[in-house]
Amino acid sequence: MGTPDFSVPCLRALVQAGHEVVGVFCQPDKPVGRKQELKAPPVKAAALALSLPVVQPKSLRGGEGVRLLEPMAPDLVIVVAYGKILPPDVLAFPKYGCVNIHASILPKYRGASPIHWAVLNGERETGVTSMQMDEGMDTGDILLCETTPIGENETTEDLFERLSTLGAELMLKTIAQLEAGTLQPKPQDHSQATTVGLLTKEMSAVDWGADAQTIHNKIRGLYSWPGASTTLDGKLLKLHSSRMTDKTSRGQPGEVVCSDGKLLVCCGDGRCVELLEVQPEGKKRMPAAAFLNGRRIPVGTILGQ
């Protein structure tokens, strides 16, 4: 059971490892673009390419989930970013229950956007956890966990790719130990739990009054959606990548302190971030150097006004 790109490596790994995948559940097709044409989720496309049966129920409640599972008779259900709550009758149906692969070191970052928030909060480490699912939101017993460092300039998108691969490896280890009877589930310490929700477009605007590290974390944490942004002369300027610098300034928050081949901006703590890749309103994304070649931005210009 999974829906987005993040789930695909787990599906492929199951097949490549020789496990019998009796069915694939994913979210219904959704309309996209100006023409609102229906588009299949990535897991559906991957499943069909592997000649696997796909079901896309609107809900698993009211016995619908069990009705779909009965002819498949799975021993185990693997859940990876499915996007739906599994009701108690579904959780209890498989012989070995339902195992979730979650992209955080539980109990931290339960919920919908654990990778984004780990980057946004400047975490230096994250990971993937396999968990025996219960009726709560990512509250079940921990089976296995693998950790990995987060690079100083690593974006959410970078981390998505790494953790999806790590998650597939962890899933196979979990299944092997489940079959061998060697797993020792550990209850989560609920007192240490944090829960995060979905991101919104309203989060995009950069507050230059914040410290430089927080701003850098926001730019890389919101990449590639919804993306960080500011304004320049009243027009939107999307910020795709940045880096920390050693430069300090007594300028105002949001003040451009260098625009000669590099675009450095003063933050609320007096430190400066360098904007590496930007996208002016109505134009394509480009390196900051190319942006500065085509437009003069005087030192002292204030972004975000």
Q: Which residue has the tokens 């299944």?
A: 175
Task: Write down the H helix ranges in 33-128.
Answer: 42-49, 64-69, 88-91, 114-120
| pTM greater than the 0.85 cutoff | yes
Model confidence at 33, pLDDT cuts 50, 70, 90, reads: confident
State the pLDDT at residue 287: 98
Model confidence at 34, pLDDT cuts 50, 70, 90, reads: confident
State the pLDDT at residue 32: 86
Contact 249, 255 (CB under 8 A): yes
Model confidence at 99, pLDDT cuts 50, 70, 90, reads: very high
Query: β-strand 24-25 against 54-55: which pairing, if any?
Result: parallel
* DSSP summary character for residue 255: B
Closest CA to 240 of 249, 252, 228: 228
Question: pLDDT of 172-212, one tens digit each?
Answer: 999 999 999 999 999 999 999 999 999 999 999 999 999 99
Question: pLDDT of 141-180, one tens digit each?
Answer: 999 999 999 999 999 999 999 999 999 999 999 999 999 9
State the pLDDT at residue 191: 97
Q: Which residue has the tokens 């590639």?
A: 224
Q: Which residue has the tokens 């030192």?
A: 299
Query: What phi and psi values does residue 148 have, to the nearest 5 degrees?
Result: -155, 145
Query: What phi and psi values does residue 257 have, to the nearest 5 degrees?
Result: -110, -10
Q: Which of 31-40, 66-75, 133-142, 208-217 has the lowest mean pLDDT?
A: 31-40
State the pLDDT at residue 183: 96
- Alpha carbon distance 290, 280 (integer Å): 11
Question: pLDDT of 18-32, one tens digit each?
Answer: 999 999 999 999 998
Query: β-strand 77-79 against 98-102: which pairing, if any?
Result: parallel
Percent of the chain clearing pLDDT 90 (strictly above): 97
State the pLDDT at residue 249: 96
Average pLDDT over residues 23-43: 93
Average pLDDT over residues 256-284: 97
Mean pLDDT for the chain overall: 97
Whole-number Cα distances in Å, 227 to 74, 159, 205, 221, 273: 40, 15, 9, 8, 17
Percent of the chain clearing pLDDT 70 (strictly above): 100
- Domains along the chain? 5-196 (3.40.50.170), 201-294 (3.10.25.10)
